[in-house]
Chains A and B, each alone.
Chain A
Amino acid sequence: MQLKTILLCLIIYCCTFEVSAQKIRVLSYPTELIDSISASEKWQKLIKLSPNFDSENSNINIHSQRFYFSEMSELTAKKELIKTLYAFQNTDHQNTTEENPQCRFPARYYWLKKQFDLSNVKEVECHDFLAWSKLSSTQSLSLIFATGYLGNPASYYGHTLLKLNSDQNKKLNLLETSVNFGAKVPKNEDPISYMLKGVVGGYDGSFSHSSYYYHTQNYLENELRDLWEYQLNLSQDDYYFLVAHIWELIEQDYIYYFFDENCVYRMYELFSLFDDIDLPPIKAPWVIPQEVVSAINSATYKGVPLVSKVKYIPSRQSSFYNKYWQLNTNEKLLIAKIVENPEQINLLNAEAIVFQAKLKILSTLLDYYQYLISVDKDNVKLNKQSYTRVLTYRYNLAPGKVKFKDKLAISPHLARPSSYLQLGFMHNEKLGNGVAIKFRPAYYDQLDAESGHIRNGALKMGELDLEYINNKLAIRGLSIFEVISVSNQATGLPHDGYDAWRLYLGLQKQDNKCTNCADFTFKANKGLSIPILENTTVGGYIGGAFVENYLDRGRVYISSNLTLNQSINNDWNFLVDLEARKYLENEQVTKYKVKAETRYRVNFNHEYIDFRLILSNDETVLSLGYYW
């Protein structure tokens, strides 16, 4: 029996070897050429194998069998090259044009034609590919960046897309083809599974395509996220090559990892296919959209910047704020009256109100009600009625464009890097002098928000804060996440108030007088954050926390906070946070915490650092931070 098995294996091995050898002979290409091309980085990138891969099945990025001519179980770069060349030259069994390997893999065909003599291969016109790519009219490619969205953890840090532009000179065409990479998440997935599977690779991800307007509606109107468009400067050859490669990748399954092999990484990977590109590497082991946007903006292509044009596209909410804050006091007053009682729209009939002012008010109101339709889900019908009333009034006036100034938005690629390392020198009244080190993979805190972030807000994940004091190394804090959401531009109109909230989950030091006392903390606060002046915001919060029992104070406390955020200028700002805690168990002790922190940022030669001074109960910290 064993002898039979051995003989059978030998026969299979010999047959396999013979088939490969026959294919090479049939293909009549020198073995050295086959070896050289199959070992090339470009070929391995095209077939999504990790560089220098030539072993069995360990670093395959795509796990769809239909992406390969070889069996996945025996996939190597060389075998796949041989089978691909063979497939291009033996198409008799293909029933339709679209099944032809040239049409399934136009980028492979395009590139291999330059490496091998494929003159014996009959060119096929791939109708589906040509119709999709609109290559006859498409002239450029844009990278689209959607700013972060706190409604979905997977979108906290933003998202990227590609857009194929059919004509550079025309205005925006919302029917252009866009390409997206995303995780395939089943409907009604619960949030815990969603987060866990996203992190550990429990979902497939793939490229998909749709008309661009599906995304503009979703981002600008639904999720109220601003978009940035970076138009890229590519040669027609490379443009064809990239679009052809994307066609090959559509609906092929990758494993999706939230932190590194995510949507934006797959976009970044596409650009690394070009020979003439100098693309900055991603330094961190995690990949954040803003970092990739910065890399693309720093990249050079054939000696010139890869990005040729940057465009800001405001969401409905941003458009509303931009308009509202340009209105004069009387116009704002009229809006407040109309919102309070929609019948008051007839106030606009007054002759004293000039046509342009009426248009401004009506345009602002249309944006306001559209914004409410997205956020105020309990009153959609009412808001739609108000919207239609304003629209009807607008139709009864003459056509005409409203003259508002465009918002001077700063592109996210100009913001500082996302990761932060801080070295602090501390003095503690009880414990003496010490050193603190803080490491934050991403993203921003209440003092260092920049473009693409929420000013005075915070979004942190995995921030580790260590101290060495009193001859002890200890954790000061370790956040799983911390989110502070504020409305910096709120108008105070109904459902556009100054609501703010804070959430913290992680380990937190319970008192400055102790060391090694960072305990589990889950904290939630709700309140108001009101911009009383352009650079001054005050906040008030109430809430509470579940904590470990420390000094027998108990495991639950309620708290109230008063905050002040003040910007002195573009580089210098400070924050004051006063907190009163009332523990609900045992002796029900009350504790007061004071924290005042000021930050000064410096940028030289594209290196970003900051200096901070933090004063709190019993402790002073002076720190130097570096963004990378």
Chain B
Amino acid sequence: MNKTKILISSIAIAFCASSVNSFAFDKTPGSGPNPFSDCGIGAALFKDTKWAAVTSNVIWDIGTTAVTSATASPETCSGANIIAAKFIIDNYDNIVEEIAEGSGDHLASMYGVLGCDNSVQTEVTASIRTDMVQTINQADYQDKNLVQKSSDLYNIVNNSTVVGNCAVI
């Protein structure tokens, strides 16, 4: 198990390192990689299940090793982006519901990872919400799996014109 994780993490780091060359010098919003597609971790980290069925009171493998290893990857595939992507897929429904309302704990936690100050969060949410309205009204939204939806949301956040105020993006 550990060997598998080390292998996956190594591949992830290698992919991330190679991505750095492409993205490191372009800092405009939306120009960074999307961890779902660009950081090479893929299925190891982002699973298409609402939530892995686990039994309470039992220790379970939650992929923290992969996340921790991924944090070692440089710059654009940075640890915070990976953690944010993982947070988005694991809390997707809560985040999307809170974007619809305009605020919430999950949304605030996501901004915490991305380094968005309280002062800009309302503006960022409004911007993301505008894009989410377009996305959710698309005919194929219903058919997308959780990874695709989370990847789209990650792109929306990343492409927002106001996320320049967030330290990580």
Residues of A whose CB lies within 8 Å of any CB of B are: 146, 149, 152, 154-155, 159, 171-175, 180, 182-185, 206, 208-211, 213-214, 217-219, 221-223, 225, 263, 366, 370, 373, 385, 387-388, 391-392, 394-396, 399-402
A210 and B54 contact, Cβ closer than 8 Å, known pairs A173-B109, A184-B59: no
Q: Which of B58, B101, B102, B109 contacts A175 (CB 8 A)?
A: B109
**Which segment, of B10-18, B23-31, B131-139, faces chain A?**
B131-139
State in angstroms the CA–CA spacing of A174 and B94 once bound together.
12
The chain B residue with its CB closest to the CB of A149 is B56
B51→A172 contact, CB < 8 A: no
Asked if B112 CB lies within 8 Å of chain A CBs, one says yes
B56→A210 contact, CB < 8 A: no
A401→B51 contact, CB < 8 A: no
A373 and B50 contact, Cβ closer than 8 Å, known pairs A366-B97, A388-B141: yes
A402→B101 contact, CB < 8 A: yes
The CB with the most chain B CB atoms within 10 A, among A184, A217, A394, is that of A217
Asked if B83 CB lies within 8 Å of chain A CBs, one says yes
B62→A155 contact, CB < 8 A: no
Asked if B166 CB lies within 8 Å of chain A CBs, one says no
Interchain nearest-CB distance for B94 vs A (Å)? 8
B133→A152 contact, CB < 8 A: no
State in angstroms the CA–CA spacing of A217 and B133 once bound together.
25
Q: Which of B102, B103, B113, B133 contacts A396 (CB 8 A)?
A: B133
Asked if B43 CB lies within 8 Å of chain A CBs, one says no
Q: Report the 5 A-B pairs with minimum CB-CB distance, sorted nearest first.
A: A399-B102, A174-B109, A155-B56, A172-B105, A182-B59
The chain B residue with its CB closest to the CB of A204 is B59
A180→B59 contact, CB < 8 A: yes
Interchain nearest-CB distance for A355 vs B (Å)? 13
Q: Which of B51, B109, B136 contacts A395 (CB 8 A)?
A: B136
Interchain nearest-CB distance for A388 vs B (Å)? 5
Task: Find chain B residues with CB under 8 A from A401 CB.
Answer: 101-103
20 sample A-B contacts, Cβ–Cβ < 8 Å, listed by A number: A152-B56, A152-B57, A155-B56, A159-B56, A159-B57, A184-B58, A208-B59, A210-B62, A213-B90, A213-B106, A214-B62, A217-B91, A222-B53, A225-B56, A366-B97, A385-B142, A388-B136, A394-B97, A395-B137, A396-B133
- A-B contacts besides A182-B57, A221-B50, A395-B137, 7 pairs, CB < 8 Å: A172-B105, A174-B106, A182-B58, A185-B55, A211-B64, A213-B109, A395-B132
Interchain nearest-CB distance for B61 vs A (Å)? 9
Question: Main secondary structure on chain A at its contact with chain B?
Answer: mixed
A391→B142 contact, CB < 8 A: no
Q: Which of B50, B90, B109, B113 contacts A172 (CB 8 A)?
A: B109
Binary contact readout B112-149 vs A (1 if CB under 8 angstroms, 0 otherwise): 11000000000001100100110011000110000000
B141→A222 contact, CB < 8 A: no
Interchain nearest-CB distance for B112 vs A (Å)? 6
Task: Find chain B residues with CB under 8 A from A171 CB.
Answer: 105, 108
State in angstroms the CA–CA spacing of A174 and B106 once bound together.
7
A154 and B57 contact, Cβ closer than 8 Å, known pairs A213-B91, A214-B62, A395-B137: yes
Task: Find chain B residues with CB under 8 A from A185 CB.
Answer: 55, 58
The chain A residue with its CB closest to the CB of B142 is A388
Question: Main secondary structure on chain B at its contact with chain A?
Answer: helix
State in angstroms the CA–CA spacing of A477 and B106 once bound together.
50
The chain A residue with its CB closest to the CB of B56 is A155
Task: Find chain A residues with CB under 8 A from B96 CB.
Answer: 391
Task: Find chain A residues with CB under 8 A from B126 CB.
Answer: 399
The chain A residue with its CB closest to the CB of B55 is A152
B83→A175 contact, CB < 8 A: yes
A399 and B109 contact, Cβ closer than 8 Å, known pairs A152-B55, A182-B58: no
State in angstroms the CA–CA spacing of A213 and B101 once bound together.
20
Interchain nearest-CB distance for A340 vs B (Å)? 20
Interchain nearest-CB distance for B67 vs A (Å)? 9
The chain A residue with its CB closest to the CB of B149 is A388
State in angstroms the CA–CA spacing of A146 and B54 once bound together.
15
A154→B133 contact, CB < 8 A: no
Task: Find chain A residues with CB under 8 A from B56 CB.
Answer: 146, 149, 152, 154-155, 159, 218-219, 223, 225
Asked if B162 CB lies within 8 Å of chain A CBs, one says no
Interchain nearest-CB distance for A250 vs B (Å)? 11
State in angstroms the CA–CA spacing of A149 and B57 once bound together.
11
Task: Find chain B residues with CB under 8 A from A209 CB.
Answer: 64
A400 and B58 contact, Cβ closer than 8 Å, known pairs A173-B112, A175-B83, A370-B93: no
Task: Find chain B residues with CB under 8 A from A221 CB.
Answer: 50-51, 93-94
Interchain nearest-CB distance for B120 vs A (Å)? 16
State in angstroms the CA–CA spacing of A210 and B102 once bound together.
28
Task: Find chain B residues with CB under 8 A from A392 CB.
Answer: 136-137, 141
Interchain nearest-CB distance for B63 vs A (Å)? 9
Binary contact readout B10-50 vs A (1 if CB under 8 angstroms, 0 otherwise): 00000000000000000000000000000000000000001
Task: Find chain A residues with CB under 8 A from B50 CB.
Answer: 221, 373
Interchain nearest-CB distance for B157 vs A (Å)? 16
State in angstroms the CA–CA spacing of A402 and B54 once bound together.
32
Task: Find chain A residues with CB under 8 A from B141 CB.
Answer: 388, 392
Task: Find chain B residues with CB under 8 A from A172 CB.
Answer: 105, 108-109
Interchain nearest-CB distance for A143 vs B (Å)? 15
Task: Find chain A residues with CB under 8 A from B58 CB.
Answer: 154, 182-185
The chain A residue with its CB closest to the CB of B93 is A370
A395→B57 contact, CB < 8 A: no
Asked if B100 CB lies within 8 Å of chain A CBs, one says yes
State in angstroms the CA–CA spacing of A562 and B11 once bound together.
63
The chain B residue with its CB closest to the CB of A370 is B93
A400→B102 contact, CB < 8 A: yes
Interchain nearest-CB distance for A266 vs B (Å)? 12
Interchain nearest-CB distance for B103 vs A (Å)? 7
Interchain nearest-CB distance for A391 vs B (Å)? 7
State in angstroms the CA–CA spacing of A121 and B136 once bound together.
61
Interchain nearest-CB distance for B78 vs A (Å)? 15
Task: Find chain B residues with CB under 8 A from A388 CB.
Answer: 136, 141-142
State in angstroms the CA–CA spacing of A513 and B73 once bound together.
77
Interchain nearest-CB distance for A118 vs B (Å)? 31
State in angstroms the CA–CA spacing of A209 and B102 once bound together.
31
The CB with the most chain A CB atoms within 10 A, among B53, B59, B87, B103, is that of B59
The chain B residue with its CB closest to the CB of A166 is B112
A218→B54 contact, CB < 8 A: yes
